[in-house]
Amino acid sequence: MSAIDSLFARLRRTGQKALIPFVTAGDPDLDFTAAVLRRLVAEGASLCEVGMPYSDPIADGPVIQASYTRALERGLKVADVLGMLATVAPELKAPLVTMVSYAIVYRHGLQQYVEAARRAGVSGLIVPDLPVEESGPLAQLCRSADLSLIQLVTPTTPDERAKRIAERSSGFLYYVSVAGITGERATLPPELVDNVARLRRYTDLPICIGFGISRPEHVRLLAPVADGLIVGSAIVRRVAQAAERPPAEVLDQIAQFVRQLLSAMPQRH
């Protein structure tokens, strides 16, 4: 059982849901990324998603794209990110997953990347641009390394394809709340709850919802039907202020935001 499997088994036993914050590695620098991860877990994040900056992200909105650009302009390398994660992962009481383009994994070599991620203490990979038809080799390598390969289902994914994606995924299934790009939204689609309920017919995997979640009312709406909620742009936007403001002040603001979201989560049974 992977670290992510163990996490969701424990959460299900206690009736809790996972808050999964996303941060961009290296924005504004890797030391601050490590500090954010420590603070997020200390505040109660169940799992953290770390974005590997990439020059051509396929679904990220302007806030996350800008953070990737800033990190890449400073010369950030994948090896630097994995080195930081190797240092911070043993300190955290929560698994780490990387959001990484398949182009990066392929360029490094599938086996080499999986082994490097495992050595760095990573528990899973989210590979948003990997089609399910081509995911077999990476899925096999991840299974052998006891890493989860988390794949995405969108509102426009046909039912039969969603079923295949669920069968090839491990750890949890990432449900994209909207047809579009990442970013904070005032409201979420009214059909979202029904879409997640339909997806549960195809899988026993935990289902975590991402894209657009940024307010306590979103958490109250979605926590009853989801196993976890992924919050990205709202955190990345706050992190972006770290270059101009005292880091401790930015960390406190992020912590306050996370506490607001957690306060809207179901309480432990």
- Catalytic residue annotation: 49, 60
For the chain, how big is the Rg over CA atoms in Å? 17
Q: d(Cα 136, Cα 34) in Å, to the nearest integer? A: 32
Q: Which residues of 86-108 are buried (b: 16+ CB within 10 A; e: fewer)?
A: eebbeebebbbbbbbbbebbeeb
Beta carbons within 8 Å of 171's beta carbon, 6+ residues apart: 2, 4, 5, 97, 123, 124, 148, 149, 150, 205, 206
Determine the residue type at 180: G
Report which of 240, 231, 126 is spatially closest to residue 188, judged by C-alpha positions: 231
Contact between 36 and 254 (Cβ < 8 Å): yes
Q: d(Cα 38, Cα 6) in Å, to the nearest integer? A: 20
